[in-house]
Structure formats: C-alpha cells, structure tokens
Structure 1
Amino acid sequence: MSLLHADAVGVLERWSAPDEGQERLREEYLAHLAAYPDGMWKACADGHITASALVVDPPRERALLTLHAKLRMWLQTGGHCEPQDTTLAGAALRESAEESGIAGLGLLRPEPVALDRHRTPCAWHLDVQYAVVAPEGAIEAISDESLDLRWFGYDEVAAVADSSVQALLGRIRALTRSA
C-alpha cells in the first residue's frame, strides 16, 4: 500500500460528511480502497480516487474554472493522482497549480469540502474535492489540459457549470461565510 493510499483512507475515515449523500459516498470510497490496493491509480479500471480543488478568490467573490479539453465542460481543477503524491490535499494542490498556472495557492482548510462520484471516458472517478484560495494578485495561465481558463463571479457559475461544481461552490461559500 502506498503512502497516498494510506493518507486517503485516513482522510476519509476522519472526514465528517455534511449530509447523508456525502456519508454514503465516503463509505463507498472507503470500501473501494479496501477492495482495491491500486484504487488510487488511473490503471484501476474499476474506478480510482481523484483529487480536485475549486480555486476561489473570496474577497472578489469569484471562482476559477477550466474548460476541460476532453470533457468540454467548465470544471474545477483536478485529476489523477501521481506516484509522487503522498497526500490527497497535496495532489489537489499540485493539480490546481498545474492547471491554473497560479503559484502560491493555499488550502482553505486541510480536509475535503465534498466528494463526487462520476463516470469519465477512462473509468469511474471517486473525486475528493478541496477548496483552494488564490493569493492576492494571482495571475492565471492556461494549461495544455484546458481549452480555456476563466474567473467567474459566484453568481455566474450556475450558468456555465454542472450541478457538481455548483454544489462544491455552495459548500465553499458556506465555509467562507462561517469563517
């Protein structure tokens, strides 16, 4: 078992799901990891854990979305875990930095914000979602994995993104209001 696999199990065991649906997903993810020692990696055809993060700029009330090149959808940054990753939070930060081009991103909080299970062309993604805060003056740069990269006002996200991104943003906004 890899350090990343052990971290994922620990993160999911400690995470307090905000509702019944998220609790069911948490239990499914833990069962997946128990059944598949390779369940963190893209090569696991029965599905794999992925790490993503929505990059937000709370003072300006905006979120950075990427127009995914393969899926052609506006999504949060994120993707497959890599062999050098040792934590899920680190994988989410790495993916966010790679896909946004922004240096100095920081986690809003160390634990996940939400879970989302969805089918992709390669397999089921069991996505562990984080919130990442952009530093003041952040300048984004589009990556090869994106067709476009753009800041959207919180109130604009619903017009371009699917329900999973909208739900993630809603959870992040609730966290930033209560902080």
Structure 2
Amino acid sequence: MTSTHPDTPALHADAVRTLTDWRPAEQEQDQLRRDYLAHLDEQPEGLYRACLPAHITASAAVVDPAAGRVLLTLHPKVGMWLQMGGHCEPGDPTLAAAALREAVEESGIPDLTLLTADGVPVPAKLDRHQVRCTGKDRPENTHLDVQYIALAPAGAQALISEESLDLRWFDYDHLPELTDHSVRDLVARARQLTG
C-alpha cells in the first residue's frame, strides 16, 4: 500500500517502537499490545481514520493529582463521559504527541504534560472498542486506542471546545454514571500511577 500521508513512516515507526517497548503486566493488555502490533505490521496506514475496519487512536486521561480529580468530556456522538482523545493526524510526530494534542485541544489546558517513565511518555493502557466514526449510517469500525495520562497543573481551569457537549472535573471517587468500564479503569490507573 502506498503511503498517502508524508509523516506516516515516522509516526508508524514510533507507534511500533512505543508498543514494542511498553510491556504491561496484565495478560489481556499484552494480548492487545500484540494485536495492535500485528495491525501495524499489516497496515502501513493503520494509524489513520481512513484505515478500515480498524485504526489506532490516541487518548489521555487529564488528571489534577493534587486535587484528586479527572477531567472528562461529554462526547456528542457517544453520549457518554470520556477521556480526551481521537484520531491521529498527519502532522503528529509521535503517538504520544497525538494524545497530548487531543488532550490540549479538548481540555483547553495548554500546559499539560504526559506521564513518563525514564523521561519517555508511556501508555497507561490499551482499549479496543467499536465506534461509528465514519458516520452514523456507516458500519461500525474498531478503534485501537492507546491511552496515556496527561498531568494538569494544580488548579487548572478547563475550557470547553466545540467537540464536546460538556466538560467537567470529577473527583476520582465520584465519576458520573455515564462512563463505561474502560474510562473507570483508566481513571483508576491514573490515580495509582500519579499517587
């Protein structure tokens, strides 16, 4: 397949490196990691929305550890409270940069930083889910989401974007009902990893 995005080789190589280097302890997460790597091996364009029936996406739970809170967006298409995130774009130099870009755009907080290990941003978890990102009258496709933790400065003020119906901070122990197990698990991991 010919690459239609000039930055695809660099972003693709970064995604492969990120998923190769990241070694989760849980067997289910490691299986997802291997599935994502197989997808990237088969799909040179596997990081972009046009790659169907599945593509890699990047997201981040925006947390304010000092206040013990997480910022969630009420997604207009899904109708649930989710972490910030979305599709990779041709200008994204790395998978982590895509997650950070989405987090900044959707939160309105310009000075977010991703949680790192040895100075390198690392995923917190992976989540595979079905969506209709190509339109409600189109078949579902699969998001292979790579999820990070974005640290907000203490007391950060969020600013809602047009991509959201609502945007709110929630205490770790009082997440809204309209969240799924994946969001709850990501928030629990963020809480654990940020102490």
Give the C-alpha shift of residue 159 in structure 1.
3.1
Give the Cα separation in 2 of the matches to 1:105 and 1:175. 16
The aligned amino acid for 1:118 is H
CA RMSD of aligned residues (A): 1.1
Q: Which residue is 1:134 aligned to?
A: 152
Deviates more, 1:9-18 or 1:130-139: 130-139
- The 3-state SS of whatever aligns with 1:3 is helix
Q: Which has the larger radius of gyration?
A: 2
Work out which of the residue numbers 124, 131, 144 in structure 2 matches 1:113.
124
Give the Cα separation in 2 of the matches to 1:2 and 1:67. 33
The aligned amino acid for 1:108 is L
Q: Which residue is 1:154 aligned to?
A: 172
- The 3-state SS of whatever aligns with 2:66 is helix
Q: Which residue is 2:142 aligned to?
A: 124
Uncovered stretches (5+) of structure 2, i.e. residues with no partner: 1-7, 134-140
Work out which of the residue numbers 88, 93, 100 in structure 2 matches 1:86.
93
Q: Which residue is 2:5 aligned to?
A: none
Q: Which residue is 2:26 aligned to?
A: 19
- The 3-state SS of whatever aligns with 1:161 is coil
Give the Cα separation in 2 of the matches to 1:26 and 1:158. 29
- The 3-state SS of whatever aligns with 2:28 is helix
CA contact (8 A) 2:16 2:37 kept: yes
Give the C-alpha shift of residue 158 in structure 1.
6.0
Q: Which residue is 1:48 aligned to?
A: 55
Q: Which residue is 1:37 aligned to?
A: 44
Work out which of the residue numbers 72, 82, 105 in structure 2 matches 1:65.
72
TM-score scaled to structure 2, two decimals?
A: 0.88
CA contact (8 A) 2:64 2:156 kept: no
Moved runs in structure 1, 4+ residues, more than 2 A?
A: none
CA contact (8 A) 2:67 2:154 kept: no
Give the Cα separation in 1 of the matches to 2:38 and 2:176. 32
CA contact (8 A) 2:81 2:176 kept: no
Give the Cα separation in 2 of the matches to 1:66 and 1:18. 29
Deviations 1:83-102 (A, max 9, x none): 00010110000000000101
Give the Cα separation in 1 of the matches to 2:69 and 2:60. 14
Deviations 1:92-113 (A, max 9, x none): 0000000010110011221000
Give the Cα separation in 2 of the matches to 1:155 and 1:108. 21
TM-score scaled to structure 1, two decimals?
A: 0.96
- The 3-state SS of whatever aligns with 2:85 is strand
Give the Cα separation in 2 of the matches to 1:103 and 1:158. 25
CA contact (8 A) 1:158 1:166 kept: no
Do structure 1's residue 7 and structure 2's residue 14 form an aligned pair?
A: yes
The aligned amino acid for 1:120 is V
Give the C-alpha shift of residue 138 in structure 1.
1.5
> % of aligned pairs identical?
57
